[in-house]
Chain A
Amino acid sequence: MAKVPVQFTLNGSEKAEFVESGATLLHALRDKIGDTSPKGGCHQGTCGACSVIIDGELRLSCLTLAETCNGAAITTTAGLAEGGVLHPLQRAFLDAFATQCGFCTPGMIMAAKVLLDRTPNPSREDVVEALSGNICRCTGYEPIIQAVLTAARANSQNAA
């Protein structure tokens, strides 16, 4: 089967690759471009570990064809730290022990980032709703919810 070109911006830098027609974005990111921060948990849309941000919206990269992302701006967890300084969400996840095996973490952070970008001061219900498509088998969720609320407070203090 013919390969098809895909071209998009990943965490601010231009990427161009040839993928097999019908390849998922998850495959393109992990196996072609080498960004292994999105995880392949279920490939069915149920776990949320593959979540990425495409043009500002949370999406599942396992259910998105790479070809449909031509020209898009894609953000993954690998792109959040700046010059070795962790993003406030990453910092909060570490501090709150919100990551154990870590498999769900990049997806959780993507879902939380979209929330905080739109709702800088979310309620606990907002956080639960925002993370409702992401499964964690380790933490019992509470530390993750707390981490997102902590990161939100840190953000609003910085802005003040």
Chain B
Amino acid sequence: MSLALQTFSSVKDANAALQAAGARYLGGGTLVIRAANEGDVSISSLIRVNDPGLLQIAVSGAKVRLGASVTMAAIARHPELAALAPAARAVGGPAIRNMATVGGNLFAPAPYGDFAVALLALDATVDTEDGELAVETFLAGRDTSRAIVTAATFSLPKAESFRFLKVSRVKPKGVSVLSIAALLELAPDGTVTSARIALGCMADRPMRALAAEKALLGCKLTPQEIAPALAAASEGIAPITDPIASAWYRAEVLPVHLGRLLSN
């Protein structure tokens, strides 16, 4: 079997070529080449873009822009992105992190997409050839999206307000049982004034724990006060079953791990 690779210097031209049947965008290739190696005949050509802008990490003040081709390794070692390093380091082993891109992670089906879980908690904006989309809107429509993602932008969280946790069975790397990212603002007395919580592996793609977010408002992060939020975390989830864990197991352990993340 052979795959035609087409390289473009502009996203616009690549986007036009991507509309052809059987054409797939090539990011780092960790999912798309794997699919081709496994005999996925729906892929007949690969489109890539070598615009250096896609590789750029721009941090200006509190605004961060990650080009879609930025790798997990580049994020993990960037001195100004220390708050995001745990999420970037959660993806695969060292070779995978050298290849896996931000753009590809936004399309990765569960149990993958750990970095996209972080982007969802951060309320990122996804830039595509068709315009800018809130990450939630992007994730909901990604199956039918034919537009090349060019970047993800978000406000850099303060280290103490952003928490990320990935649970896996194989240490130090391994596929997620689940992942959780939380962006929390606390008042000086420790009361939660705003909360955004994103879950991985609790659906086929990253989702928000809306009921838990609501239940956390006005609480202090003590075991007693967060208990209603932990109970609410399971609302609306439909966890995946795969060789790592069943849906039942994932649902059972979600409140346990969310509790640990919140009370840390």
Contact = CB atoms under 8 A, between A and B. Distances in A.
Given A44-B37, A60-B95, A65-B29, A132 B173 contact: yes
Interface residues of B, number: 26
Interface SS majority for chain A: mixed
B30 A63 contact: yes
Contacts, number: 83
B94 A1 contact: no
Contacts of A114: 94
B1 to A, nearest CB: 8
Given A63-B30, A63-B33, A45 B2 contact: no
Nearest to A26: B37
B94 A21 contact: no
Interface string B147-183: 0000000000000000000000000110000000000
Interface string A103-132: 000000001001000000000000011101
A64 B99 contact: yes
B60 to A, nearest CB: 27
Nearest to A115: B94
A133 B99 CA distance: 13
B94 A132 contact: yes
22 contacts: A20-B2, A22-B2, A22-B36, A24-B33, A43-B34, A43-B37, A44-B38, A45-B30, A45-B34, A45-B92, A48-B95, A51-B95, A60-B30, A60-B99, A62-B33, A63-B30, A63-B33, A63-B99, A64-B29, A65-B29, A68-B5, A133-B93
